[in-house]
Amino acid sequence: MLAVMTEQRPQLMVSAAAGDAGSFAALIEPLLDPAYRLAAVMLADRSSAEDAVQEASIKAWRKLRQLRGDGSSLRPWFLSTVANECRMARRQRWWSVVKVADVPSSKTGREPSETSDLRGALLKLSREERLPLVLHFYLDLPLDEVARALHVSPAAAKSRIYRAAKRLRSDLTLEEVF
């Protein structure tokens, strides 16, 4: 299925850029889940995350012709659009109370305190520090795609991930149980 999708991607890009909604839907559908997860982490609110992804999808539809290449850069371009939409949403709702995201938990068997400690440490990071970590570790994007999504070089992306992870580690302390 993925091989067929990769082979069809250039044709889908051409027809989507020409205005075919079905082709655009086929291109964007596999990106919606990672986009929602990114928005949920950035906005810490389920409905705001859904709104941001929807707005980013509309903007992507309108600006698809601006994307160059065969579509291999579609994922970082779209996730960058989602991240920008989240930034705009955060600026527009400056008066609202920050909420904790209601994202479905993974069935890893972790204790609630472990996930809340990590969530708290992540929320202590600035949005600029949190974004590279989410893109690389949470969405499993390779370094070159993280760099494209952040509009920086791969070396700068690697440096941002390293610094943010170092800061995150310093906020996470292990408590010894006696």
> Does residue 178 lie within any of the structural domains?
no
- For residues 78 and 121, membership in a common domain is answered with no
Q: Among residues 67, 101, 135, which one ends one of the domains?
A: 101
Per the structure, how many domains does the chain have?
2
pLDDT per residue over 87-146, tens digit each?
A: 888 776 544 444 444 555 545 444 444 456 777 888 888 888 888 988 888 888 889 989
Return d(Cα 86, Cα 63) in angstroms, integer.
18
Return d(Cα 36, Cα 59) in angstroms, integer.
15
Please give the single-letter amino acid code of residue 90: R
pLDDT per residue over 45-103, tens digit each?
A: 888 899 999 999 999 888 888 776 655 678 888 999 999 898 888 776 544 444 444 55
User: Tell me, what's the pLDDT at 112?
Assistant: 46
Which DSSP state fits 65?
G
- For residues 78 and 118, membership in a common domain is answered with no
The more confident residue out of 32 and 66 is 32
pLDDT per residue over 7-18, tens digit each?
A: 566 777 777 777
Domain with 143 in it: 110-173
User: Tell me, what's the pLDDT at 27?
Assistant: 87
Over pLDDT 90: what percentage of the chain?
22
- Look up the CATH number of the domain holding residue 122: 1.10.10.10
Which DSSP state fits 139?
S
